[in-house]
Structures are given as C-alpha cells and as structure tokens.
Structure 1
Amino acid sequence: MPVSHRKSSMRDFAPRAGDRTTGEVRVLFRVLGPLEVRADGSPAEFAGKPGALLALLLLHANAWVSVDQIIDALWRDAVPASANGNVKTYVWQLRRALPPAVDGGPRVEGHPGGYRIRVDLGELDSMLLEDLARQGRVTMGEGHCDRAAELFEAALALWRGRPYTELPDGTAGIATARLEEVRWEVCERLADVLLARGRYLEAVTLLQPLTADDQLREGLWVRLIGALSGAGRRAEALAAYQRARRLLHDELGVDPGPELREAQRQVLAGERLPVATLATVAPAPVERRPSRHSYLPRDIPDFIGRTRELAALVAAGRQPDGALRVAVVDGMPGVGKTTLALHAAHRLLDRYPDGQVLCDLHGHSGQSEPVEPAAALAVLLRAFGVTGAAVPADLDERAALWRATLAERRVLLVLDDAASAAQVRPLLPGDGGCLVLVTSRSRLAGLDGVDTLTLDVFPEPDALGLFAAGVGDRRVADEPAASAEVVRLCGHLPVAIRIAAGRLRQRRAWTVGLLADRLREEYGRLAELQAEDRNLSAMFAISYRQLDGAAQRMFRLLGLAPCQEIDVAAAAALAGVPVDEAEPTMERLLDQHLLMQRRQGWYRIHDLLHEHARQVAFEEETPAQRQAAAARFTRLARRPTVSTVARTA
C-alpha cells in the first residue's frame, strides 16, 4: 500500500525492549507474514515443527500453552507415540536458539503440563502493530495528524502477509482475523488523516488498492470518492460511486448506505466533501455493514481458551449457504457456555447481515420461570418488525410466521439458557441461511440434527491465564505456586476463577497466598466464591431445585461420600435403593451436568458441586439419615467381593 510521503523507521516508534536506554529492539519476533526471528539484527530461521511450536507460543505470548494444545497444533489427527518427547526436544531447541528474556530470565518457561514464551511489547510485531494503532488513535484524537500518519504508516510497515501461516487452519483463525481487522482500521484511519490534511493524491494512492482488496467496505468507497473529488478528479469520483453501487447490489442485494449516497450527491453538486478540522478528526471504527436487527450484548474482552470449541462454532457459521445450522453448547453451571457462544457470534457478524439476536430463555435464572416458547416468539417477531395484531395468538401459527419472517434471510440467533428441547424447537428457523447457537445446562437430546459441544472445566494453563487476566497485575506471575493452588481450589471452573480474581483485584493488599489460604477452608469455600450477582451456591441451587425428588435426594447424599467419583453400586448404597433404580437417577444427574462421566458405570462430581451437595445434605437430611447413608456406604466398601466402590479426586 504505497504512500508517497516519507516512510518512518520502525526504530522511531518501537517500545524499548532489551536496552531500555537506547530504545533499540534487541529481539523482534515477526509473525505478520512468514515467521522470522531477528536477534541483534541477524535473521534466524525456524522451520518445521520447531517453527510451528514457536508460532503457537507467540500466538499466546506470555500465556501458558498446554501440551495438549501443542500436540493438537503440531500433529492434529496423526499424533505419534513420541509426541510428548518430541515437544520437549523442540522446546530445548528453542531455548538454545533464542536469547534470554529482557530481564535476563529464560525466554521459554516450562510449567507442569505447559509452556510459555516471554515477550516484551517491542519484541513481537503483532503486539507492536496493535500498540502503534492505539498510539495513532490517541494522537489523531489530539489533533496531531502528521504524527498520527507516521504512527499508522509505521504500523502498516510491519505487515508482510498473512499472520501465523506456520500453524494449521483453525488454530490461529481468530487471532488472524483480529489482526487483519486492526490492519484495516489503521488503513482507514490513515486515509482520514490524509484527507484531513488535504493530501488527496496520497489518499487516492492508499485507497485504490484497498477498495480492490475489499470491495464491500462502504467506508473505503466514501473516502476514495472524497479523495478523488478533492484532487479534482470528479469524473473518477462518480465512476467510483457507480462501481460501489453495482458491487453492493450484485454481491449483497442492497443499496448504498446514506454516507455513500451523500458522497455522490456532493460530487454531483460540485461540493467538496467536508473534511474534519485538525482538532476534530473523528476516528473511523472498523466497519461492518450495520444490521437493522442487532441485539447481541458486548463481547467478552478477555476471552481465554476454548480454542478448539471456538474454532468449531466459527467453522459451523462459515459453512457454505444452503442449510440451517444449529449448535448446542452445554455444560455444568459456570463453565462458560454463554461466554463462548457470544464470542463466536461476534466473530461471525459479517456472515449474518440480516440480524444478530440473543434471546434469554431463562431456563435456569432462578428469578423467573423459563420463558414459554409462545412468549419468546412474540419477542423475536417484534424485533423483526411484526407487532400488534399481526402476531398470532396460537403457538404453531407464531412459529410458522417466525419461519416465514426468516425465510431467505441470513440471521444469527443465540438462544441462551434453554431449559429443554421442547422450549427450543418452535424457535428454530425453517430453512438455510441462518445459524442458531443454543446454550443449556441440560443435554438437549430431543433436538435432532444439531452439533453438540459439551464444555469441561479449563485445563490449568487456561485457568491460570483467566486468573491472571482477571487480577490484572503482577501478583499472579510473582506467586505461581499459590496461583496454581487458587485455580485448583476453584476447580478450574471459569466463573469461580473470575470471582476469585475479582476479589483479589478489589483487594490490593491481599497476596495470592492469602486468597489460597481462605479458599482452603473446605466448607467455607462457596461462601468465599461470591460477589454481587455472582453466587456459586445460588447457581447450583437453581439446578438442584429443578430436579425430581429422587434425583435431589441422590445429589445431596453424594455430598456425604468421602470421594468425588463412585460407581453405581456405591450410589445405590448411599441412597439405600436397588442398583437398577440408582442408575437411571444418576443418569438424570448426568444429563443435567451435575455429574460427569469418564467411563461407563462411574460418575464424578465436581469438587465445588460436591461441597454444595454436602451443605444441602446437612440442611435437608436429619443426623440419623446422614449416619445411615454413611453406614450403608461403609458396609459396601468393606465387602470382600467389592474391590473398589469409590475413587478419590
């Protein structure tokens, strides 16, 4: 993207890393294009699996990457028996080849089950790109347009091609898309600065290849028309408008937006398009064509982990047109179902220009009964302009009208916190072009033809990353052992980790070790893990109240077991019922994600749920009933014919 005025050197803008007095970058990792490593100005090559590992670590710079993530990225479905040993060898090779970190410590650190690479801001071009973009925005807002242009140009000079090409498809898709959006934002803001300074020919030179690269960004065409008009090339400005109009009609079936039409009107009238003054240059947001029906809540800014699940949802949403796609995300309370669904939805906005809607079905809200399908349909129809008497009274008629309303539209629908398949089924569109993401604590086995993702708790590296992001300062890095203990005591459950991180963030005098000590008080842990509207005990209690009587009793008695994983015989002994009665009860708990299952016949309860079940047992079972359950369990465990009835955590 050539621009005729002076190019700024990266050394003018690079944050100081390594030698913090000279401002020179001692090591620069370059991922914005083919992977390059420059140590003291000398390029070093990393090819094959070591190069892919380095790219993966840089993708998650300063965060822990689990060995499982590494193996998946390096080998996918063809994992050799020597994979773990090979990973250790590649890490050893990287440690030999790379200089120490800025503080003199190891560049690549190891941790049980994972690794991370330590990178300063000025050492990684992707981080530097985003920082220069931020500096440019601030400088631009302050009215220093020439300096802002230099910062934006420095950012663009970093871009050499598609990022992270060493990694397999899907591994870096989200990060790549974000970086490409930053690049586009920088291009648009640079164009705004050039237009504000009256540098029209330079703006034309910048914008012409951009409109060829992405022909459906109306904001680029508005700027190009303004630049051509300002340069006195009126006929070319009008031709640019006609080309943009045809492309929008042919590709999207829509007319130009108001800004583009206004640009044409001003050129026809012989008016120069208005240019903001130096003090009021408006930053141009990353542009997506706005939807008339966009009702999604904000995305989570510190989303961490779920790489494979996120890639699966995004891939489902980017399948070729022609078939309705429905994906169900289920899991235990607090595991991050809604967070994942919303994050995926925000990555797919451009694919569903006719609407993006979240409908909270209140399946487990605790404050109201689950939303009836008829009521949900009335809300959805109103969102799409069907109001008053036009909304039928009958459920089937509402569902039919909803399907007709969405016919031949591309709409993304998030049905959050579903109670049952029966609640969801009438809300589904009838044909292709739409994506539906459903979240639920229940396994919605009654929905046919759907993709199901069951979320587990976080692996330790992701749990630590979420904890560090939530705390927001050095305490997590300074106390690694205590931090690992905190996330373990949170059961690696995302909502519990967020609550714990929030408590530490609000108490600057606390150490991580102090928080760990408080959480070690086993039967006070749930009381410690609550903050404002986040209350683990309340979340668990909602699921408990929705169980039938037999399942409620089984759940609370499981809290009296001295372990977290038991077989059906042990569960039957606790409840004092036959095995053939206990098994379907345990299966109902499994379907509600109050139990997990690693192998047939064995059931595991999460340690925080185990603590909650114990509390409920002490509230609802008499001392005599608790003693009887414990005695039955002990008698079964002592039988010589029973080798194992329980497994510890």
Structure 2
Amino acid sequence: MIRGRGLRFGVLGQLEIVRDTAPVIIASPKQRIALATLLLQANKFVTKGELADRIWENGLPANVCASLHTHMSRLRQALGDDGSLIMTRDSGYSVFATEETLDILRFRNLVSLAAEARRRGDIEHESRMLREALALWRGPALADVDSESLQCEVVPALERERTRAQERWFDVAIGRGEPAEVIVDLESAVDAHPTHERFWAQLILARSQAGRPAEALQTYQTARKVLAAELGIDPGPEIQQAYERISKGAAVPSASARAREAQTVSDLPKPAELPADNGAFTGRATELGRLRTRLTSSRPRPVVAITGLGGVGKSALAIHVAHQIADDFPDGQLYVDLYGSTPGRDPLQPLEVLGRFLRSFGLANPAIPASVDEAAARFRSVTGRRRVLVVLDNARDVHQIRPLIPGGPGCGVVVTCRRSLASLVNVEQCHLDVLSQEEAGLLLSRLVGRERVETEREAAAAVVRLCGGLPVKLCVAAARLTARPEETFDALRDRLAMEQGRLPATATA
C-alpha cells in the first residue's frame, strides 16, 4: 500500500498540501493546526492531549475526546486518507512522511549532507546542498496557521534552523570568492533579521569583496544605527572585525582558511548536558517569549536570572527554555545543580563546578588550575570564541555563580535562585509568580489525565485552589493520585484541606 496516495506537504512557508499537482484545501483552522502539529513531528506519535492543547488554546470543549475524534476524521476525509497516512493509537496520532513528501524532512537531510561534505573538505558540494535546502523555504514557516502556541513555541526553532543554514551558505560563498551569489539574499536576511549581527558582518564582507567598498562601509554605519535603535548596543566583535578588515583593505579569508581558523574551536567536545525536558510543562508563555528573545537576540547576551519562591517552577522554566534555544548554542550546553537551597546538601563550591565544566570540554585533571581565579580564567578562555549555553540551577547567591560566567559574548547564561541577583553585571531578572488557576488546572490535567479531571471537575478545581498555583504542590498531588488509582479527587481535596500548609517542601530551586 502506498501511504498518502500522491500527497506532498509543506511547512516551510504557508501550510501546503498537494496531491500530484493539485492543491488540497483544508478550510478548518482547527484541522490545519492538527495537521501542522502532526507534520512537525512526522513519524512520531503525538498524544491526544498535546493535539487538544494545540487545537483549543483558549479552553477545551466539554467532550474533548469526541471533538478531537471528529476533527481527525474530517481531516482524513479531506486528505482522502484510508488510514495509511494518519495512524491512530489509543494514546494519539501520527503522520507518516519521507523527505520526498515533506519539505522539512528534505531540508534537514540536505543540511546534513552539506555538513558531511564540509567534513570531507568538499566545499563545492556543501554549497550546492545548502542552496538546494534553502530553496525549499517559501516564506516564514507555517505563516497561515493560526496557532499562538505553534507560532511561539515551534516556529522560532524552525526559523533558527533556516538561519544557521543561511549563515553557513553565506560563509561558503564569501570564502569561495563568489559574493555576488549571495548579496541579494544577505540583503533580504538583514531585512528579516535586523538584529542578527552575523548577517550584517557577512553583508559587509560580501559587498567589500564584490568591489563595492563604499557600500560595505555604509552597511557598517547602518548596522550601528539599527543595533543602537533596536537593542541599545554597539556592534559586536564580528561586525567590528569585518569593518576593521575592509578599512585596512585586508583580503577576505578563503573558505579553507576559515575552516582552519574554526578547527581549534570545533575540535573541542560539544557537551549536551541539559536534563530531560518536562513533557507536562505548562503556561509561562510570556516569560518564555521574553527569555528566548533576550538569550538569542541580545549582544552581548545577558545573564538571565529566574527568581521566585521555592516550588514555583524556576528550574522547570530554565530547563524548558534551554531546550528551546539549545540550537542557538551549537558549541555546547552545560548544566549544574548548585544545591544552593537544597536541604541536607552543602552548596557546590565554584572550583568544583569549574572543574566539571572544563572536563566537559575535554581538559584533563592536570590541566585544571587549583585556584578559583585561575580556573575561572581558563573557563573564560575556553568559551571566549564559542557559543555555549550555561544553566546554573538552584544557586545560593551572587558569590557562588560569579566565577561560573563564561567569557564569550556569544555565550548565554540562565540562573535560577530564590534571591535577587541584581548585583551581577549584565543581569536581567525574571521574577516568577505562581501559576494562574487556568494554567494550574491544565498542568494537573496533563499530570493525571484529562478524562480523570473531567469526571470530577469541581473537586479537581478545589484541589487546584488548595495547591495555590505552586507547580511542586500540584506535582505532589498528582503523584498521590497516580500512586493510588482508586483515590478520588474528592478524597484528595479533603486530605489536602486537612494538610493545608503541610505538603512536603520542594528541594529544588
């Protein structure tokens, strides 16, 4: 059986469905959201809960399972699917796709082939693969899919994949002495991403190499004005280096020279130490958007400090946002629990943490200095030319974390702490409050199951209120229900009412 019967899908632009050469129209916004959600996780099962959350962002219908089944049945009918394209299990749905039938899969495969060519030193083939990959983009991803959660949580990651491929393609063209091939695309890139400094630097170099030095100098001045107006900062090292190079009339380095220059950096290990993300993470859309923007757009990147009382979800937010932006830090992601507020544990000393970090980058114990100041300096040297994300979870105070800040302007730092960290240089604080009643109810549904909550809606709402919007208390309550399947929300509500104020305290930040 041929799955999909001639269907091809596109998410790299407006949502596109084509059978053979004829477009397939999916008019229902909810069905378009469902299809987009499945396509973005093609060949994996998406839970019914996740689909429902995407489709009904502003409140679930009374009988969510029946409503979801209806929409999925109509989507299948619109696609002419006999069950071989959208597969069903008790837990959820999955769409089968290949790189021939789904553009995002084709894009990722071409980028992977380009990386293999680069490792072989075949720059010409790398350039061809990148050009073909980028040609698949028809505009902003899922531009016509009306889903706030997809646009905020998923689309930015897709756009970052595109941006990284563009960066490399521009580098290759400039390094091969073919700037004219990419100048128009670079101009479009800086228009679309006016605060993305690397695009500005590449446009300066490309115009200079193409024999347009006056335009290159004007590009530098424009970049200065844009960055000052948008972010209140001066151009970073990459733009400054490009400006100095053309001011002195220096030649733009070749692709092979650039590869050799980057080799000393790429030879180091790329640690990926983030803990697993929380699949039940709920809410915090405003905070997530703000943190993503600050950690990926600012230069130098700030130290972002998430503060708030114990159990409010600081660690979960830090880990969740770190996973969302990890691709922006391709040289590694470091994580450590500093035990700053953990009962029965002494806070970690900075020297111990620095030793861990340096070993993660491949340094042997004899190469790790024995004093905090020297180890911190070594850490700053190792990270000075890299883009590394550092998550310092459960910090005690400023003194504990100050030596752990990396050195490069392209590095990001996320700290969680119960105390204010306002005395840190270049810190941006994000104070976390308790969850709203709606968010707390959604979290409880994800933890114990929506159907179980719906059968005892009033008692479940009372449990949410008794937990006071604290994720840790909701998790404890959910764990009790999960461990005792026979226990009702009524019984749990009465238990919590008696225990009010005596739920176990959290041991995390």
Q: Give the TM-score range, shorter chain.
A: 0.5 to 0.7
Letter in 1 for 2:167: E
Distance 1:592 1:346, change over 3 A: closer
From 494, 498, 503, the equivalent of 1:583 is 498
2:399 aligned partner: 378
**Is 1:435 aligned to residue 435 of structure 2?**
no
2:466 maps to none
Q: Give me the whole-angstrom Cα distance separating, in 2, the residues matched to 1:100 and 1:589.
A: 50
Change (3 A) 1:26 1:382: same
Partners of 1:302 and 1:122 lie apart in 2 by 31
| Cα distance change, pair 272–319 in 1 and its aligned pair in 2 (3 A) | closer
Q: In structure 1, what is the equivalent of residue 236 of structure 2? A: 257
Preserved contact between residue 140 and residue 193 of structure 1 (Cα < 8 Å): no
Q: Equivalent residue for 2:288? A: 314
**Which range moved further: 53-62 or 230-239?**
53-62
- Corresponding residue number in structure 1 for 2:17: 37
Q: Is the 8 A contact 1:238 1:264 kept in 2?
A: yes
Post-superposition offset of 1:174: 2.5
Q: Would the alpha carbon gap of residues 106 and 161 (structure 1) be closer, same or farther in structure 2, given more than 3 Å must change? A: same
In structure 2, the residue matched to 1:305 is: 279
> What is the aligned partner in structure 1 of residue 321 from structure 2?
344
> Residue 190 of structure 2 corresponds to which residue in structure 1?
211
- Partner amino acid, structure 1, of 2:50: Q
Q: Deviations over 1:576-613 (max 9, x none)?
A: xxx99x934x75135559xxxxxxxxxxxxxxxxxxxx
TM-score (normalizing by structure 1)? 0.51
| Matching of residues 91-490 of structure 1 within 5 Å | 91-98=72-79, 106-164=84-142, 165-277=144-256, 280=259, 298=272, 300=274, 303=277, 305-306=279-280, 308-309=282-283, 311=285, 313-315=287-289, 317=291, 326=307, 330=311, 338=315, 340-345=317-322, 347=324, 360-364=338-342, 367-368=345-346, 376-381=397-402, 413-415=414-416, 424-425=418-419, 427=421, 434-436=428-430
Q: Is the Cα–Cα contact under 8 Å of residues 339 and 345 in structure 2 kept in the other structure?
A: no
Structure 1 residue aligned with 2:390:
none
Letter in 2 for 1:39: R
Q: Judge conservation of contact 1:215–1:247 (CA < 8 Å) in 2.
A: yes
Post-superposition shift, 1:177? 0.8
Helix, strand or coil at the partner of 1:435: strand
Q: Which amino acid aligns with 1:46?
A: I
Q: How has the CA–CA distance of structure 1 residues 591 and 187 changed in structure 2, closer, same or farther, with 3 Å as cutoff?
A: same
**How far did 1:181 drift?**
0.7
Summarize the Cα distance change of 1:172–1:131 in structure 2 as closer, same or farther, 3 Å threshold: farther
How is 1:57-96 mapped onto 2 (pairs within 5 angstroms)?
57-81=38-62, 83-96=64-77
Q: Distance in 2 between matches of 1:302 and 1:186?
A: 26
Partner amino acid, structure 2, of 1:378: H
Q: State the shift of 1:325 in Å.
A: 7.5
How big is the alpha-carbon RMSD for the aligned residues of Structure 1 and Structure 2?
5.0
Q: Quick one: which amino acid aligns to residue 207 of structure 2?
A: L
Report if aligned partners of 2:395, 2:416 keep a CA contact under 8 Å in 1.
no
Q: Using the alignment, how far apart are the partners of 2:242 and 2:151 within structure 1?
A: 38
CA deviations on 1:359-399 (whole Å, 9 max, x unpaired) are 7234447553699x9962322455579xxxxxxxxxxxxxx
Partner amino acid for 2:205?
G
Q: What is the percent sequence identity of the aligned residues?
A: 27
Of 17, 28, 35, the residue aligned with 1:54 is 35
Task: In structure 1, list runs of 5 or more residues that go unmatched.
Answer: 1-16, 285-296, 351-355, 386-410, 417-423, 439-448, 462-542, 544-557, 573-578, 594-649
Please say if residues 340 and 346 of structure 2, whose CA atoms lie closer than 8 Å, have aligned partners that are also in contact. yes
Number of residue-to-residue matches in the alignment? 403
**Counterpart-to-counterpart distance in 2, 1:261 and 1:142:** 31
Deviation digits for residues 337-377 of structure 1 (CA, Å, limit 9, x no counterpart): 74552231464799xxxxx9977234447553699x99623
Distance 2:445 2:31 in 1: 29
| Change beyond 3 A, Cα 1:206–1:317 | closer
For residues 426 and 257 of structure 1, what CA distance do their matches in structure 2 show?
A: 28
In 2, Cα distance between equivalents of 1:382 and 1:304: 29
User: What 5-or-longer segments of structure 2 have no aligned partner?
Assistant: 264-270, 295-304, 329-333, 350-393, 407-411, 450-471, 473-479
- 1:218–1:79 Cα change, 3 Å: closer
- Give yes or no for contact 2:11–2:141 (8 Å, CA) kept in 1: yes
Deviations 1:182-202, CA, capped at 9 Å, x for gaps? 111111111112112211211
8 A contact 1:144–1:278 mirrored in 2: no
AA in 2 matched with 1:34 = Q
- 1:211 offset after TM fit, Å? 1.9
Return the letter of the residue paired with 1:434: E
In 2 relative to 1, CA 209–319 (structure 1 residues): closer, same or farther, beyond 3 Å? closer
How far the C-alpha of 1:108 sits from its partner, in A, is 1.5
The 1:147–1:361 alpha-carbon spacing in structure 2 relative to 1, beyond 3 Å, is: same
TM-score normalised by the chain length of structure 2: 0.63
- Bigger relative contact order, structure 1 or 2 (CA pairs below 8 A, ≥6 apart): 2
2: CA distance, partners of 1:342 / 1:77: 25
The alpha-carbon deviation at position 246 of structure 1 amounts to 2.9
Matched residue SS, 1:273? coil
Give distance in 2, aligned partners of 1:562 and 1:301.
Answer: 28
| 2:111–2:165 CA contact under 8 A, matched in 1 | yes
**Between 65-74 and 195-204, the greater mean CA deviation after superposition:** 65-74
1:180 deviation in Å?
Answer: 0.4
State which structure, 1 or 2, has the greater radius of gyration over its C-alpha atoms: 1
Deviation at 1:314, TM superposition (A): 0.7
After alignment, is 252-261 or 39-48 more displaced? Answer: 252-261
Distance 1:57 1:266, change over 3 A: closer
Partner of 1:643: none
Name the counterpart of 2:267.
none
The residue type equivalent to 1:37 in the other structure is: I
